[in-house]
């Protein structure tokens, strides 16, 4: 039952992505995301941890960065009514230790662009870190939104709604050559996903 409920939520989200982004829903992706979300909830919700039992595929875990490098995982979460949301980022080192992070609530008028705002805010945070910039520490910013990552990396054109934010991200990356943006599987982005959900 839990998987059905999460899948229905994913269908609703896919409908919104189609309306706001023009993104064609993919059934396989929808099922994978539903399974990942359910596993994330099972793992991080101690209250209901023993109530949810489901078989899931072996997920791709978070992969730590190389020694002396950092990784910033970012994600966004929008409420069921699509009227509020939050974005979050978790900065970790090669040992898996938390170095820094952020979480910000998103007003209703910006909820549809929450997924795009997450890496932009993350890049702004990194640009403000004097130590990272001065020492040119290599940082990989990871998002589980493939289209977003491709747009930031100029591999595809962004939707007209997202162009201004995508441009901001590209401008920051142009100034910080030691920072890159990459795609990760949703199951490798569970901590940022959890933080964004708990702060909306």
- Answer positive or negative: Cα dihedral of 192, 155, 170, 162: negative
Kindly tell me the burial class for residue 128, based on how many C-beta atoms sit within 10 Å of its own C-beta (0-12, 13-18, 19 or more). exposed
**Each residue's pLDDT expressed in tens, for the chain with a length of 200 residues:** 555 555 556 566 665 665 555 666 655 455 566 566 656 555 545 444 444 344 444 446 889 999 999 999 999 988 766 667 899 999 999 999 999 999 998 875 666 688 899 999 999 999 999 999 999 999 999 999 999 999 999 999 988 889 999 999 999 999 999 999 999 999 999 999 999 988 87
Domain residues for the domain of 187 are 70-198
Does the residue 139 lie in any domain? yes
| Residue 180 φ/ψ, nearest 5 degrees | -135, 165
**For residue 8, is it within any domain?**
yes
Domain assignment present for residue 58? The answer is no
Same domain, 92 and 148: yes
Give me the DSSP letters along 41-72. HHHH-TTTTTT-----PPPPPP-PPPTT-EEE
Query: Mutual orientation of helices 27-44 and 2-21 as an angle, nearest 10°?
Result: 130
The DSSP output letter for 135 is T
Asked whether residue 55 is assigned to any structural domain, the reply reads: no
Q: What are phi and psi of 179, to 5 degrees?
A: -115, 135
Q: Are residues 89 and 15 in the same domain?
A: no
136 within domain boundaries? yes
Same domain, 33 and 81: no
Domain total of the chain:
2
Q: Is 32 inside a domain boundary? A: yes
Residue 113 lies in a domain: yes
Same domain, 35 and 107: no
Same domain, 82 and 121: yes
**Same domain, yes or no, for 126 and 34?**
no
174 plus 100 within the same structural domain: yes
- Reduced to 3 states (helix: H, G, I; strand: E, B; else coil), residue 144 is coil
If asked whether residues 101 and 181 sit together in one domain, one would say yes
**Same-domain status, 19 and 110:** no
Check which CATH number belongs to the domain holding 171 and give it: 3.30.420.10
Q: What's the pTM? A: 0.69
Give strand pairing partners of 179.
139
Q: Is 100 helix (H, G, I), strand (E, B) or coil?
A: strand
Rounded to an integer, what distance in angstroms lies between the CA atom of residue 73 and that of residue 170?
Answer: 17
DSSP per position, 76-90? EEE-TTSS-EEEEEE
For residues 89 and 28, membership in a common domain is answered with no
Q: Indicate if 85 and 132 belong to the same structural domain.
A: yes
Q: Are residues 40 and 75 in the same domain?
A: no
Question: Which residue do the tokens 């706001």 mark?
Answer: 20
pLDDT score at 161:
87
For residue 51, tell me if it sits in a domain.
no
Q: How far is CA 38 from CA 4, 42, 48, 77, 166, in A?
A: 10, 6, 11, 15, 30
Phi–psi pair at 18, nearest 5 degrees: -65, -40
Among all chains, which residue has been given the structure tokens 């943006």?
Answer: 181
């Amino acid at each position: 039952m839990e998987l059905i409920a999460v899948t229905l939520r994913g269908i609703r989200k896919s409908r919104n992505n189609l309306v706001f982004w023009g993104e064609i829903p993919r059934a396989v992706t929808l099922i994978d995301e539903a399974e990942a979300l359910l596993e994330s909830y099972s793992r991080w919700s101690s209250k209901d941890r023993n109530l949810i039992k489901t078989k899931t595929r072996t997920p791709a875990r978070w992969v730590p960065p190389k020694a002396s490098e950092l990784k910033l995982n970012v994600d966004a979460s929008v409420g069921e009514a699509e009227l509020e949301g939050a974005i979050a980022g978790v900065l970790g080192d090669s040992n898996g230790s938390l170095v820094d992070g952020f979480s910000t609530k998103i007003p209703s008028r910006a909820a549809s662009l929450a997924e795009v705002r997450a890496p932009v805010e993350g890049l702004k945070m990194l640009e403000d870190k004097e130590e990272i910039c001065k020492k040119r520490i290599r940082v990989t910013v990871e998002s589980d939104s493939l289209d977003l990552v491709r747009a930031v990396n100029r591999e595809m054109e962004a939707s007209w709604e997202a162009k201004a934010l995508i441009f901001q991200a590209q401008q920051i990356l142009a100034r910080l050559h030691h920072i890159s943006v990459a795609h990760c599987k949703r199951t490798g982005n569970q901590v940022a996903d959890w933080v964004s959900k708990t702060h909306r």
